[in-house]
Amino acid sequence: MSIEIRKISKTFGTFAALRNINLVVPDGQLTALLGPSGSGKTTLLRIIAGLETPDATDGAEIRFAQQNVAGIDVRDRRVGFVFQHYALFRQLNVFENIAFGLRVRPRQTRPPEAVIRGKVKDLLKLVQLEGLEGRYPAQLSGGQRQRVALARALAIEPKVLLLDEPFGALDARVRQDLRRWLRRLHDEIHVTSLFVTHDQEEALEVADRIVVMNQGQIEQEGSPDEVFHSPASAFVMNFLGNVNLFHGRVEEGKAVFGPLVMEAPAGPLSHGSPARLFVRPFDLDIQLQAGADGALAGRVTRLQSAGPVVKVDVTTAEGQPMHVELSHERARQLQLAVAQAIFVVPRTAHVFADDYAI
Amino acid sequence: MKRTPTDMPPVAATHVRENDPRWVRATLIAITVLFLGIFLALPLASIFTEALRKGIGVYLASFRQPDAYAAIRLTLLVSAIAVPLNVVFGLAAAWAIARFRFCGRNVLLTLIDLPFAVSPVISGLIYVLLFGLHGWLGPWLNEHDLQVIFAVPGIVLATLFVTFPFVARELIPLMEEQGSEEELAARVLGASGWQIFWRITLPNVRWGLLYGVILCNARAMGEFGAVSVVSGHIRGLTNTVPLHVEILYNEYNFVAAFAVASLLALLALVTLGLKTAVEWKVRRDRAESAASREGSTP
């Protein structure tokens, strides 16, 4: 079931948490709402669930598969919601936690006890918690609690599944395992899912689509490849991984950064207006001689080769520090040493007009 | 005392005290025991000795007097009304205060504490001023033949007032600590307000609630000042157990006075026992809720 959001804003006092959000979450996909804290991603998720009410603006709509749910109470919206700290019922055991959504149904629609038992058993199997149905939340590990919360949300056969920072409260090791598991689980059950995260790695690894949010607005939405390789704004570029930043200006339709000359960004840019160049560390190459194209002269200040790539810290002739990542193979060819004079050449770079302050 | 850093134990504070000179420890312990003995154990023991001075037969006979019997019945009746009402009020107030931020929240918190701050005699007088024959509502009540002061309704009202804070005071910190996420989760899963209350809210606070009820009940049965002002001391009609004890004592009927007093003393002992048991449960629940939160944050 797809989710469509139109013209949704939310203001807390004088603080605009969301400004005119328009978004379509496609049916059956796993979508990540990615952004720094305060970007409004959790507020958006809670509005979709019905836990918050959006501002009453004209044309504001939330649709689950064409049906406007804006006026429907959270009780009747049939969403699965996994809270950041799981909010498991501490007085109920795992079995009763999962069965809760079925047991509280009105008598006419409540399934018989045998059906409830069968369903909970199936869910326990799905989240790999068989044999733990008698435990209480306090007796479970963080990862187990998260899976109980997920099973509990799935028990009501939700139209959409919403997860608030699902891995935020777990330690790094468990997080890795669980996000792969969640991806596999989603491939199995295919319920439209939306999860909030501030961890770009998590979003890139797990999601089919990523919605990048900043200051209550959507900066970009697209597949992980799109947002990573073709960032729409300096913010997205900067948020989705490490970058090297150069300041320059537009001259005669080209963006000029010292010896580097790039295509100017699209849009009406006057001659002399400031521009920024973003290059990811692995999009930089090091050469021992200046080539035909523009290259930045610099000196190696630090080498770190323990790890999947060789990290080289360089200080340019202008005194700007840069981070370069080379493959081990390339590093062996170059035979780099600290204090060696080298040239840095960007392979891929992104140029943005200087309208965004980091 | 000089010590090198190496023989400083990790939990220095407790060890230092153990290393205090023997006589210091002995003196401190002796003072404590003496104090407890003189001010707590001795009076308690004296109540029972005085009550049993003329043998168990006379002791039991004191309860068979119609007036004593009526006083016990009245006390039970008053607490049977006051305690449930204050449970309902306490739950409602604690829920409102712990779950919502509203204007007047601090005023409500202060009002809940008011009965602790006001002398019980004043509490009683408030009701006399309100409902007494020359009070604000007195003439109207008189016209309609309703009697509040010097009757059971007045005693119930005064008791309600002084036992107001116990349940709410116990529940507010507990509910604030537990937060409302579980209730939200239940709502998302489709539970109605009553289902959330009976299945989530109430079970989560049950030990705290029981603790509040025990304290509330002990105070309701033992209250003297406020009840004394509104009761009128009519034997067999408006005398509660504490008032009855006073009357018997003033009549030099010591054995009967102490016999009835021993009931209150027993109630105190039972309350203390229950309180300790429930306190232990509450502490464990809190530790658990703290642990479950800690376990879920890195």
pLDDT in tens, A250-289: 877 777 777 777 776 666 666 777 888 888 999 888 888 8
The three-state secondary structure class of B70 is helix
Residue A86 pLDDT exceeds 80: yes
Q: Judge residue A257's burial from the number of C-beta atoms within 10 Å of its C-beta, 0-12 exposed, 13-18 middle, 19 or more buried.
A: buried
**Residues whose CB is less than 8 angstroms from the CB of residue A341 and which lie 6 or more positions away in sequence, other chains included:** A297, A298, A299
The minimum CA-CA distance between A83 and chain B, rounded to whole Å, is 8
Which is more confidently placed, A249 or A152?
A152
Q: Above 80 in pLDDT, residue B296? A: no
Mean pLDDT of A94-108: 93
Per the CB < 8 Å rule, is A105 touching B190? yes
What CA–CA distance (Å, rounded) separates A54 from A43? 9
For residue A324, is pLDDT > 60? yes
Phi, psi of B2 (to 5 degrees): -100, 135
Residue B23 CB: number of other CB atoms within 10 A?
8
pLDDT of residue B86: 93
What is the band of B16 on the pLDDT scale with cuts at 50, 70, 90?
low
Q: Which of B192, B199, B289 sits opposite A90 (nearest CB)?
A: B289
Mutate to test the interface with A, among B174, B188, B192, B294 (most CBs of A within 10 A): B188
Q: Please report which confidence band the pLDDT of residue B286 belongs to, taking 50, 70 and 90 as the band edges.
A: low
> Which residue carries 């689980």 as its tokens?
A185
Nearest-angstrom CA–CA distance, B244 and A207: 76
**Are the CB atoms for A353 and A311 separated by under 8 Å?**
no
pLDDT of residue B2: 43
Contact B125, B149 (CB under 8 A): no
State the amino acid at position A25 in one-letter form.
V
For A55, which DSSP code?
P
Q: What is the crossing angle of helices B66-99 and B254-295, to 10°?
A: 20
Look at residue B33 and give its three-state secondary structure.
helix
Contacts of B292 in chain A (CB under 8 A): 88, 90, 137-138
| Contact assignment for A89 to B292 by CB distance below 8 Å | no
Q: Is A173 on the interface with B (CB under 8 A)?
A: no
In which band, very low, low, confident or very high, does the pLDDT at A101 lie, cut at 50, 70 and 90?
very high
pLDDT at residue B89, as a whole number: 93
Measured distance CA(A202)–CA(A232) in Å, rounded: 20
User: Which residue among B181, B191, B291 places its CB closest to the CB of A85?
Assistant: B181
Q: Which of B4, B100, B148 is nearest to B109 (CA)?
A: B100
The CATH homologous superfamily for domain B56-296 is MetI-like (1.10.3720.10)
User: Position of tokens 């949010």?
Assistant: A213
On whether ipTM exceeds 0.90, the answer is: no
Are A145 and B296 a contacting pair at CB < 8 A? yes
- The mean of the pLDDT values for chain A is 87
Contacts of A87 in chain B (CB under 8 A): 181-182, 184-185
**Does the beta-carbon distance from A101 to B189 stay under 8 Å?**
yes
Q: Is A108 on the interface with B (CB under 8 A)?
A: no
Local confidence band at B1 (pLDDT 50, 70, 90 cut-offs): very low
Residue with tokens 């068989």: A130
Number of residues that make up chain B: 298
CB A141 within 8 A of CB A167: no
**DSSP state letter for A39:** S
Exposed/middle/buried for B66, CB within 10 Å: 0-12, 13-18, 19+? exposed
Supply the pLDDT for residue B288: 66
Identify whether the C-beta of residue A192 lies closer than 8 Å to the C-beta of residue A160.
yes
Q: How far apart are CA B241 and CA B263, in angstroms?
A: 9
Q: Which of B288, B291, B298 sits opposite A171 (nearest CB)?
A: B298
Reported as a single tens digit per residue, the pLDDT across A105-151 is 998 989 999 999 999 999 999 888 999 989 999 889 888 999 999 99
Span B169-175, average pLDDT: 91
- Asked if B227 and B121 count as a contact pair (C-beta separation under 8 A), the reply is no
Chain A residues whose beta carbon lies within 8 Å of the beta carbon of residue B200 = 89, 91
Q: What pLDDT does residue B8 have? A: 45
Rounded to the nearest angstrom, the minimum Cα separation between A217 and chain B is 26
Cβ proximity of A82 and A153 under 8 Å: yes
Q: Of B182, B189, B204, which is closest to A104 when you measure between CB atoms?
A: B189
Q: Give the confidence band of B17 by pLDDT, cuts at 50, 70, 90.
A: low
Cα B232 to the center of its chain, rounded Å = 24
Q: Please name the residue of chain A whose CA is at the shortest distance from the CA of residue B284.
A: A138
B182 contacts A104? CB cut-off 8 A: no
Which of B188, B293, B297 is facing A74, going by the closest CB pair? B188
DSSP secondary structure of A217-265: EEEEEE-HHHHHHS-SSHHHHHHTS--EEEEEEEETTEEEETTEEEEPP
- pLDDT band for B9, please (50, 70, 90 cuts): very low
Q: How far apart are CA A234 and CA A214, in angstroms?
A: 11
Measured CA distances, B200 to A41, A93, A152, B86, B295 (Å)? 28, 13, 15, 21, 21
Structure tokens at B135: 């009070």
Q: Is A101's Cβ below 8 Å from some Cβ in B?
A: yes
CA distance A104 to B190: 7
Residue among B191, B289, B292 whose CB faces A104 most closely: B191
Order of strands, edge to edge, in the sheet holding A67-68? A15-25, A3-12, A61-64, A67-68
Q: Are A133 and A95 in contact (CB under 8 A)?
A: yes
Pull the structure tokens for residue B273. Answer: 């026992």
At B129, which amino acid appears? L
Q: Return the amino acid letter for A261.
A: V
Q: Is A8 helix (H, G, I), strand (E, B) or coil?
A: strand
CB-CB under 8 Å, A83 with B181: yes
Contact B292 A90 (CB under 8 A): yes
Task: Tell the burial category of B101 from Cβ atoms under 10 Å away from its Cβ (0-12, 13-18, 19+).
Answer: exposed
Least confident residue range of A317-321, A329-333, B25-29, B104-108: A317-321
Q: Which residue has the tokens 């490490």?
A: A242
Rounded CA-CA distance A28/A208 in Å is: 10
Q: What is the mean pLDDT of chain B?
A: 84
Residue A138 pairs in a beta bridge with none
Which of B187, B296, B298 is opposite residue A86, by nearest beta carbon? B296
pLDDT score of B295 more than 50:
no
Whether residues B191 and A152 touch (CB distance < 8 A) is answered with: no
Give the separation between CA A144 and CA A128, rounded to whole angstroms: 9
Shortest distance between the Cα of A150 and any Cα of chain B, in A, equals: 12
Going by C-alpha positions, the residue among B107, B81, B124 that lies closest to residue B217 is: B81
What tokens were used for B257?
Answer: 């006075």
The H or E element spanning position A116 is helix A113-126
The whole-number pLDDT of residue B55 equals 82
